[in-house]
Chains A and B, each alone.
Chain A
């Protein structure tokens, strides 16, 4: 469904992109990818959980917005209701492209099939100005893409360390909903607090030296926001 193109001033001079948060623009998602360097910003508002990929050989980190598929409890009619909007959402519909070999500097690509490509000149934000120079919006997107790209690449070492110390454990979270039923969040992993407490000084020193200790604690602290999700869920149901 996607149609990726390298972004150029020649091809996209007059293109306008809708940068606002809205369900019909693809923001009705229960979570998005995040990475250790972003944990500090994410944990202030969202729970951070981990999930095994389908091949069950590597983990990724997710900022959670809802308790079921397609549910985003931070998205309201008036837009994004949290203070922070994670990078993986903010950069839409742009992405980092690379040549076939997969190395070398990344290029800014754009998904021309995205609903964020404005269909009317009355909507959206220009990405190039009349002289073909990037607008402040595109400059910011490019900077976010760079951070995101670097963040994903650096996260492999983080997950290696979590595996090595077996710091992830499967978790389940249940929210009572109407009529005595429960809404259950399953299939995710979280930091195992008991194992973290049991690590010896050498292990902690190693994690700290590699810069992993801080994001581990950030992810652990973020679990308090599971209650935030539950509260928002109940509020939303109360409003009908």
Chain B
């Protein structure tokens, strides 16, 4: 962080400073990026950075999924929103993880959790403890209290807790349209973002791979030092202008269509604590509960089934989950997408953030977290002037590529351990479609659990705990007892006792989601909860 914007006497003349950030595109990605940057600007310095957001009135925004990652709590806190205001404005609910139904073999009792709270105890302990007491609980239920909390539709926090603190790790489900509106309002009114409602018609290039300005239809020329391409799939700058190609991962992740629909939900219906992801013959169905409605979507591979079949699958799901009276699968909106990410995300003075950078099926809600992580990486090492761009671009591209690759592998993990027999699922297990690094890791995990050392980058999107939850949730055999002792058996037993006591305390102290959100209108008591 710069302490002062003033040059030291005798410092050599620098290249033009990076002062004007121009975000092209509104929507979740654009507004989130703009707010994160604006909230971090040192306004005391001599020549503070400014943020301008150009939002086309012509382009409807696409709500990229409605699930966030737990990072969103820190993001909202940094931006300066009170949690209750955020929850109410976005019709949000708590997300404590994902429940996967029918993924391992498709039988009636085929179900596992991927909770956000890491296993109790270090890397190996939870696996050791679970493996040494066979036939009792699932791995997730043995490792964490969160599945039991989710099964009872309980909230992850008490109302009296400070904002964004939880008894368990949590994220949000939210109405993406309302979320973008909230960010826009907050960004303009509180964070000083300049908002221009106009359509970009042309790009004015400077020397090299540098954008000097974008030309808009009504406002004219808008200059900038750093441009963020948040134009979604259109990728106006990174693709339209710089022609950075997409790395297509459709050969690894086959899904390319989604049928999305909203299902009204009664005020007395239980409000789920997790996203439900239910596998079907050629894809899966998301089911996200908000206080007043559920968002449901059938994701599928158009190579394996027709749209009509997908509508039938969605229809059957709605009927089975009490939604057929209020929503009709024929009304579901069809979305097409291809899974992939840019070869480079930062080119010259332009960064692709959001869907312009890449898109993957929303299986683990990675879209919004990649916006947060991308912007954080930019802010962590914000370029001072144009000379500072190139080295940062190289580092940023390597970092983001690493993250996209890890996400692709993590999503693929959900498919390759399945024993389902349909063509789609068999195709997913074809070794030709599995990234080499993933094959190697799974081989490694026959002997030992996924460890933190397997995912050693800073800010890994999915830590080893997530890999453990999916791996063992899918029925992968736990490793045999290791030749080396890592934690004493007594310590492992003590951890198990602590975990059980913690689960009992949480079950007693957490309110139901419904009760929490019904009380949201009444001011929460601000007193701190004492430990007991």
Contact = CB atoms under 8 A, between A and B. Distances in A.
B439 interface: no
A135 B530 contact: no
A80 B530 contact: yes
Interface string A4-24: 000000000000101111101
Interface in A99-154: 120-127, 129-130, 135-137, 140
Interface in B479-532: 501, 504-505, 507-509, 511-512, 515-516, 518-519, 522, 525-530, 532
Interface string A169-209: 00000000000000000000000000000000000000000
B120 to A, nearest CB: 16
A51 interface: no
B239 to A, nearest CB: 47
Contact of B532 (A78, A130, A140): A140
Given A120-B519, A136-B508, A78 B528 contact: yes
Contacts of B511: 16, 121-123
Contacts of B159: 122-123
Contacts of B508: 125-127, 129, 135-137
A88 interface: no
Contacts of A122: 159, 511, 515-516, 518-519
A22 B525 contact: yes
Contacts of A136: 501, 504-505, 508, 532
Contacts of A90: 532
Prevailing SS type, chain A contact patch: loop
Interface in A14-67: 16, 18-22, 24-25
Contacts of B527: 20-22, 25, 77-79
Nearest to B502: A136
A85 interface: yes
Contact of A79 (B505, B522, B530): B530
Which of A19, A90, A122, A136 is most buried by chain B, counting CB atoms within 10 A of its CB? A122
B530 A19 contact: yes
Contacts of B505: 135-137
B267 to A, nearest CB: 14
B432 to A, nearest CB: 49
Contact of A123 (B501, B504, B507, B519): B519
B160 interface: yes
B525 A123 contact: yes
Contacts of B530: 19-21, 79-80, 85
A6 B290 CA distance: 40
Nearest to A128: B508
A2 to B, nearest CB: 22
B528 A20 contact: yes
A123 B160 contact: yes
Nearest to A133: B504
A31 B300 CA distance: 66
A80 B511 CA distance: 22
A154 B358 CA distance: 72
A10 B504 CA distance: 19
A153 B512 CA distance: 41
A20 B160 contact: yes
A190 to B, nearest CB: 29
Contacts of B162: 78
A136 to B, nearest CB: 5
B371 to A, nearest CB: 31
B507 A129 contact: yes
A211 to B, nearest CB: 29
Interface in B145-177: 158-160, 162
Contacts of B532: 19, 90, 125, 136-137, 140
Interface in A151-170: none
Nearest to A22: B527
Q: Which of A126, A129, A136 has the most CB of B within 10 A?
A: A136
Given A22-B525, A136-B504, A126 B160 contact: no
Contacts of B158: 123
Contact of B529 (A19, A121, A126, A127): A19
Nearest to B511: A122
Contacts of B529: 19-20, 79
B500 to A, nearest CB: 10
Chain A CB count within 10 A is highest, among B505, B518, B530, for B530
B157 to A, nearest CB: 11
A16 B158 CA distance: 12
A129 B509 CA distance: 10
Nearest to B507: A129
Contacts of A129: 504, 507-508
Contacts of B507: 126, 129-130, 135
Given A80-B530, A129-B504, A137 B509 contact: yes
Given A20-B160, A126-B509, A77 B504 contact: no
Interface in A62-95: 77-80, 85, 90
Interface in A192-233: none
A21 B532 CA distance: 12
Nearest to B519: A122
A140 B519 CA distance: 28
Nearest to B516: A122
A78 to B, nearest CB: 5
A123 B453 CA distance: 41
B496 to A, nearest CB: 16
Contact of A121 (B509, B515, B526): B515
Nearest to B515: A121
A123 B526 CA distance: 12
A126 B509 CA distance: 6
A24 B524 CA distance: 13
A90 B530 CA distance: 10
A122 B521 CA distance: 12
A104 to B, nearest CB: 28
A16 B511 CA distance: 9
Contacts of B160: 20, 123
A85 B527 CA distance: 15
Contacts of A24: 525
A170 to B, nearest CB: 34
A78 B525 CA distance: 10
A19 B529 CA distance: 7
Given A25-B527, A125-B532, 19 more contacts: A16-B511, A19-B532, A20-B525, A20-B527, A20-B530, A21-B528, A21-B530, A22-B527, A24-B525, A78-B526, A79-B529, A79-B530, A80-B528, A120-B518, A122-B511, A122-B516, A123-B158, A129-B504, A136-B505
4 smallest A-B Cβ distances: which pairs? A79-B528, A135-B508, A122-B519, A22-B527
10 contacts: A20-B529, A20-B530, A78-B528, A79-B527, A121-B515, A123-B158, A123-B511, A125-B508, A136-B508, A137-B532
Interface of A: 16, 18-22, 24-25, 77-80, 85, 90, 120-127, 129-130, 135-137, 140
